[in-house]
């Protein structure tokens, strides 16, 4: 992200991922980092969350969990109570590695917008109350593979045979009209998406993956590209930046007004009441959460994005048993390593904000070892 800014003079959307779990949130003490260890596990308390689901693995997984829970526990029961079934459509189009990846994503959206407009009467004919649209964009040998999964609601008993044939023709026509190309695999319709328990689970999983599922043989997810980039893979780094630039401003999950029509809460406002009740029961007799605090400047140094180690994960892992001494030990070790790395590569060292006195971290080492 920093390299992109220096080369282009502007930030990519999602660049605040650098502060996710590192900066303090507005209204909290800005001088100390704080970890809470309670019944739900170990988590940062009062720290900034970026919410960038394309660039932040942590925020993406939280969004996936919420969307999956909403589909499983809110949407599917509501559809059944309204006498509705569901099918899942998948849309894709041709793309190439050497082409403009942003154009590829833009054409996909333009083609779907045209298709959606042309199919409006057909939606009404099958009793469609609304749709969910999910965008996935792994990167493979042919570049970014943007594709939509669309949950199509319909009246139970509606004959979708004619609908499927027409939808396939309309998609191919829409792709051609926007200047794209489409092969025989450009459109797919999976019927009976709510036929049984397993189908419902698969539906909730597929519609909410958002690029967090395991990689397929032909492509890598954005998080996997970033992992490779962190290990020095320049090709993966360049591909990740190309993909993020192509996806600027694009929503991963769009539910339209289906929640309002069904009389349920929206996905973003959803809280799983069953799971919440379970958590309350489990935590009823649990002791008060343990809070571990230490200077924010140490936290920022220990979790620096240019570190070869997963600093934030290491700190949270050290806090699992509520052992403050162990947390301070890990933080101090990560800070010493960061400062030693800066001395070895002075030209790439961070600003003087990080240049603390040589004996600064000794106090933590002494307190822990004693």
* CA 237/CA 130 separation, integer angstroms: 38
**Where does the pLDDT of residue 369 fall: very low under 50, low under 70, confident under 90, or very high at 90 and above?**
very low
CATH class of 57-278: alpha beta
Instruction: Please tell me the predicted confidence (pLDDT) of residue 276.
Output: 59
Q: What is the pLDDT of residues 173-186, one digit of tens each?
A: 999 999 999 887 89
**Where does the pLDDT of residue 127 fall: very low under 50, low under 70, confident under 90, or very high at 90 and above?**
very high
Residue 293 has pLDDT above 90, yes or no: yes
High-pLDDT (> 90) share of the chain, %: 48
Question: What Cα–Cα distance (Å) separates residue 184 from each residue in 172, 173, 366?
Answer: 9, 13, 67
- Residue range(s) of every CATH 3.30.70.1910 domain in the chain: 57-278
**Where does the pLDDT of residue 358 fall: very low under 50, low under 70, confident under 90, or very high at 90 and above?**
very low
Residue 188 has pLDDT above 90, yes or no: yes
pTM of the full structure: 0.78
Residue 160 has pLDDT above 70, yes or no: yes
Instruction: Please tell me the predicted confidence (pLDDT) of residue 370.
Output: 32
**Where does the pLDDT of residue 359 fall: very low under 50, low under 70, confident under 90, or very high at 90 and above?**
very low
Q: What is the pLDDT of residues 75-121, one digit of tens each?
A: 999 999 999 999 999 999 999 999 999 999 999 999 999 999 999 99
Residue 285 has pLDDT above 70, yes or no: no
**Where does the pLDDT of residue 278 fall: very low under 50, low under 70, confident under 90, or very high at 90 and above?**
low
Instruction: Please tell me the predicted confidence (pLDDT) of residue 246.
Output: 94
């Amino acid at each position: 992200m920093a390299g992109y800014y220096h080369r282009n003079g502007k930030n990519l959307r999602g660049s605040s991922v650098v502060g996710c779990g590192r900066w303090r949130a507005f209204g909290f003490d800005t001088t100390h980092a704080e970890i809470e260890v309670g019944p739900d596990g170990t988590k940062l308390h009062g720290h900034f969350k970026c919410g960038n689901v394309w660039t932040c693995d942590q925020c993406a997984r939280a969004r996936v969990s919420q969307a999956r829970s909403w589909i499983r526990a809110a949407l599917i029961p509501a559809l059944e109570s309204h006498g509705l079934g569901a099918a899942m459509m998948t849309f894709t189009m041709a793309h190439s590695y050497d082409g403009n990846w942003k154009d590829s994503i833009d054409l996909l959206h333009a083609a779907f917008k045209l298709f959606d407009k042309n199919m409006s009467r057909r939606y009404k004919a099958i009793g469609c109350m609304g749709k969910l649209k999910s965008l996935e964009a792994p990167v493979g040998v042919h570049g970014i593979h943007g594709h939509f999964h669309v949950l199509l609601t319909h009246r139970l008993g509606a004959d979708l045979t004619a609908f499927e044939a027409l939808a396939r023709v309309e998609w191919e026509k829409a792709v051609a009209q926007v200047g794209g190309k489409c092969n025989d695999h450009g459109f797919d319709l999976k019927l009976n998406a709510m036929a049984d328990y397993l189908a419902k689970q698969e539906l909730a999983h597929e519609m909410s993956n958002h690029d967090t599922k395991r990689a397929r043989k032909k492509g890598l997810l954005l998080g996997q590209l970033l992992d490779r980039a962190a290990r020095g893979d320049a090709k993966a780094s360049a591909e990740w930046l190309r993909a993020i630039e192509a996806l600027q401003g694009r929503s991963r999950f769009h539910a339209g007004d289906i929640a309002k029509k069904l009389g349920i809460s929206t996905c973003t406002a959803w809280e799983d009441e069953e799971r919440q009740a379970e958590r309350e029961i489990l935590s009823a007799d649990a002791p008060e959460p343990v809070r571990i605090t230490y200077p924010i400047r140490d936290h920022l140094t220990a979790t620096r994005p240019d570190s070869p180690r997963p600093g934030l994960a290491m700190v949270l892992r050290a806090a699992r048993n509520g052992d403050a001494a162990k947390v301070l030990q890990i933080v101090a070790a990560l800070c010493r390593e960061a400062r030693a790395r800066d001395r070895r590569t002075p030209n790439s060292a961070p600003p003087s904000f990080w240049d603390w006195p040589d004996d600064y971290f000794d106090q933590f080492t002494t307190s822990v070892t004693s």
